């Protein structure tokens, strides 16, 4: 019950518009398991993980992909690792790209622009 209430009331619901083009990529999920990696700046690791890991848990729940971030908090670059069916991994990858792009363009609500506990200045 805890997770459903966290996800239902999450501040990033506007990022989960299932009518968006990226959401509908490759819904032909077959049982073949794939592995995909994305190298990101450490700045974005906190954005993807979210407060108390709520955002990364939501990515896992909504896409079905297993998603985790390798590396230490003081590393300059981190690796996002996604595993699942091709469709699951494609949706997780597209969501993360979309999230980073919205952050870069200051399109996230102000509460979501926090990076490592500090508010991002415009």
Cα–Cα distance, 85 to 80 (Å, whole number): 16
What pLDDT, in 10s, does the model give residues 11-24? 555 555 555 554 45
Residue 5 pLDDT > 70, yes or no? no
Residues, the chain: 122
- Mention every residue, 6+ apart, whose C-beta is less than 8 A from residue 62: 16, 91, 95
Higher pLDDT, 20 or 44: 44
Residue 9 pLDDT > 60, yes or no? no
What pLDDT, in 10s, does the model give residues 73-116? 888 999 999 999 999 999 999 999 999 999 988 887 655 555 55
Give the domains, in start order, of the chain with CATH numbers.
2-119 (3.30.1370.10)
Residue 4 pLDDT > 50, yes or no? no
Which of the 8 DSSP states describes residue 53?
G
């Amino acid at each position: 019950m805890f997770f459903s209430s966290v996800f239902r009331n999450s501040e990033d619901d506007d990022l989960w518009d299932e009518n968006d083009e990226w959401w509908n990529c490759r819904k032909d999920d077959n049982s073949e398991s794939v592995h995909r990696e994305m190298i990101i700046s450490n700045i974005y690791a906190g954005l993807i993980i979210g407060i108390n890991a709520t955002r990364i848990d939501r990515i896992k729940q909504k896409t079905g992909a297993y998603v985790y971030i390798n590396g230490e908090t003081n590393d300059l670059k981190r690796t996002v690792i996604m595993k699942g069916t091709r469709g699951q991994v494609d949706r997780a990858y597209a969501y993360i790209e979309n999230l980073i792009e919205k952050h870069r363009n200051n399109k996230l609500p102000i509460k979501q622009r926090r990076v490592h506990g500090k508010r991002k200045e415009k």
